[in-house]
Structure 1
């Protein structure tokens, strides 16, 4: 009987990030964030005995004098301009219902969709009858948040050719709190990920496992962290990336490189 064994490997010491006042970024309910009266209370915090205390588990975020705690596990709260991936759940009159991991279903209006070929014109009765030919239940789409209603529901649009129906890829579902906000969320990584050849499909599978590895270790997701994790995973087979000991090893290497990058 074959038994797989891994020898111990020397690792560089790693310490969590800390704030300027020595408090860790990661807090749990009841943790004191600061006793400085000069800070203002934001979401996920409350005041007690002149202390600012966390009311949810998450990461401390500071904007000038405002302190809030961003929960690690939460539903997506839409903001205008966000790029989202959603799944069509229902075809309705002149609109599609879209699941975007929000509290409420998102909406994509027929008038907010880019017609096949990028044609610009008023939508007709024929277009309304052909809606299921454009998008049907189960389809995955990329879209941009056009508006957020008072109840939190999100209105989407796909008027640009870079948005629309997705296919031939892999969907990795992660908490929105782990997706780092950037100027762009479309990335062409140098490792490649175009689903054409078997080699490209293997790259996609490796990237997917790397993303799930980073998520399990609560590492923020953005192009640099994903690429570093991908490079750290190359000595391992794709199927082995999600083994606990391998996940720990490549995540530690990724964190170390990110810390060196930040100086």
Structure 2
């Protein structure tokens, strides 16, 4: 019997193994000859006796703990629906949101009536995947001041398979720009959210519980952008073009790589030059 190969790529319809001891997972199917075949193009993965094929390019497959960036599509009964590039929208329960006044505050009927004052259709936010359901849906939460409504920036989308999952998905970059790299392929580039030294000292001393009840919680749902300088706007545009260059060259995207390609792009004074195919390829060749 043929043993499955865990190196290389599989194409749709390609034989994985004819050994019945292996269990079928996502991206596989059993033919009439009881052999296991690949149903997508991707790499074979194994967990004990379970075989799955991770497709190279497709919709986002949520995992618990993922830091994502999404868009509100609907305000429902004590929950929001969030589009994040998966097979279906995620749900964000009212009880899973850190409202002004502290995370431990009980959610009242007034909070339900005022849900659109916190998040409304079209708003962008970053959140964490709290639970994944069997049908592919997931539940989110924003029970931290590092999550919430996104302002002062622009959205860049890339295939989710190009995102390298790291412990920290928020990165302070050169030029006063912060990048929130969602595991779902949505990247938010915004003006860096600087803190005064005395604020940082207070937060470290008080710890997470005190942080959640800080008065800054009201800023999570602020609906207007701050004034952004022309120079910062140009820097954000340069990072956007750098990310598109990495995506076009099918290179993995993470914080240190964004810094590298940004520094390499500075030889081009005009950020619009980064839109040229030959320039994209040249920048990607310079990366480690």
Query: Normalising to structure 1: TM-score of the pair?
Result: 0.75
Relative distance call for 1:69 and 1:249 in structure 2 (3 A) is: farther
* Shift in CA distance, 57/114, structure 1 to aligned 2, threshold 3 Å: same
Residue 81 of structure 1: how far off its partner (Å)? 0.6
8 Å Cα contact 1:72-1:175 kept in structure 2: no
User: Is the counterpart of residue 148 in structure 1 residue 132 in structure 2?
Assistant: yes
Alignment of 1:128-147 (within 5 A): 128-147=112-131
> How many residues align structurally?
233
Q: Conserved in 1, the CA contact under 8 Å of 2:175 and 2:232? A: no
Alignment match, 1:172:
156
Would the alpha carbon gap of residues 153 and 197 (structure 1) be closer, same or farther in structure 2, given more than 3 Å must change?
same
Query: Which of 41, 51, 57 is equivalent to 2:41?
Result: 57
Structure 1 alignment gaps of length 5 or more:
1-20, 258-263
The answer to whether residue 143 in structure 2 is matched with residue 159 in structure 1 is yes
CA distance 1:103–1:186, change in 2 (3 Å): same
Asked if 1 retains the 8 angstrom alpha-carbon contact of 2:28 and 2:36, the reply is yes
Q: State how far apart, in whole Å, the 1-side matches of 2:49 and 2:171 are.
A: 33
Matches of 2:61 and 2:235 in 1, distance apart? Answer: 31
Choose from 233, 254, 258 the match for 1:226: 258
Of 137-146 and 147-156, more deviation after overlay is shown by 147-156
Q: CA deviation at 1:240?
A: 1.5
TM-score after normalising by structure 2: 0.69
Query: Does the C-alpha gap of structure 1 residues 199 and 55 become closer, same or farther in structure 2, counting only changes over 3 Å?
Result: same
Conservation of the 8 A alpha-carbon contact between 1:118 and 1:161: no
When residues 127 and 223 of structure 1 are mapped into structure 2, their CA distance, relative to the original with a 3 A threshold, is same
- Pick the aligned partner of 2:54 from 50, 70, 87: 70
> Residues 87-112 of structure 1: CA distance to partner in whole angstroms, max 9, x if unpaired?
00111111111101111111001110
Q: Summarize deviations over 1:215-261 as a string: whole Å, max 9, x none.
A: 1111111112222221221112211112111111111112xx2xxxx
Deviation at 1:118, TM superposition (A): 3.9
Stretches of structure 2 that go unaligned for 5 or more consecutive residues are 179-190, 192-227
Instruction: State how far apart, in whole Å, the 1-side matches of 2:130 and 2:39 are.
Output: 31
- In structure 2, the CA distance between the partners of 1:94 and 1:224, relative to structure 1 (3 Å rule), is same
Aligned to 1:15: none
Q: 1: CA distance between counterparts of 2:29 and 2:148?
A: 42
Aligned residue for 1:220, secondary structure, equals coil
RMSD of Structure 2 on Structure 1 (CA): 3.2
* 1:170 counterpart SS class: strand
Which SS does the other structure have where 1:90 is aligned? strand
Report the equivalent of 1:247. 280
1:197 partnered with 2:229: yes
Larger relative contact order (Cα-Cα within 8 Å, sequence gap ≥ 6): 2
